[in-house]
A and B are shown apart, each in its own frame.
Chain A
Amino acid sequence: QQQVKQSPQSLIVQKGGIPIINCAYENTAFDYFPWYQQFPGKGPALLIAIRPDVSEKKEGRFTISFNKSAKQFSLHIMDSQPGDSATYFCAAGRNTGNQFYFGTGTSLTVIP
């Protein structure tokens, strides 16, 4: 059973567009929600993370929106660039625990 559901599986946008990746979870015990970015041939790297006590967090061009009541969170990439082309994973876990559950990933392509 997939603990974290992620969509879409793939996404193609023009440079400057705002791709949006959505994730949903069921376990209300989760209290930390990181996003990872993975380039081909590399391991995932932490991009940005949010706790459920805030509804939005921005870091540069990357924004996480969080809806606790709907148990959903999403990643927005403002003014997307070809260098943002990568696979993005959402994840969820407990900040007192040592396991995180990853979504299935979204392959993003930004066309110049």
Chain B
Amino acid sequence: NAGVTQTPKFRVLKTGQSMTLLCAQDMNHEYMYWYRQDPGMGLRLIHYSVGEGTTAKGEVPDGYNVSRLKKQNFLLGLESAAPSQTSVYFCASSSPRGAGSGELFFGEGSRLTVL
């Protein structure tokens, strides 16, 4: 059971570089999310999607872009990385019913360091 798979798991960038994090889920979930986790800050929602071709901003969207071209994939892009974007990024997915009951399925995270 793959569930939610994130790639890459680790990445080091220099300030100003760009990169894309890929999230793939095999549960046929409608909803997908990108969170960042920072010490003392918990999990904060960056962007989310309620279906293929749709995206919406979360709590901390600045500096990030997303795309949901296929139902099973949700991409998070950093166009010009900054040290403040050093974090652990988590992708999650849920069904509409699951979202209504707080049941999100998370990937194992992608640790990004921006120098």
* Interface size band for A: 20 to 34
- B44-84 contacts to A, CB under 8 A, are 44-45, 48, 50, 58-59
> In the complex, what's the smallest C-beta–C-beta distance from B31 to chain A, in angstroms?
6
Task: Give CA–CA (A97, B45) in the complex, Å.
Answer: 14
How many cross-chain pairs have Cβ atoms below 8 Å apart between A and B? 66
Task: List 22 A-B residue pairs with CB atoms under 8 Å apart, sorted by A's residue number.
Answer: A6-B42, A32-B100, A34-B101, A41-B108, A42-B109, A43-B4, A43-B92, A43-B108, A44-B43, A44-B104, A45-B106, A49-B101, A93-B102, A95-B102, A96-B100, A97-B99, A98-B31, A98-B48, A99-B45, A99-B48, A101-B45, A103-B42
Chain B residues at the A interface, C-beta cutoff of 8 Å: 4, 31, 35, 40-45, 48, 50, 58-59, 90, 92, 94, 96, 99-104, 106-109
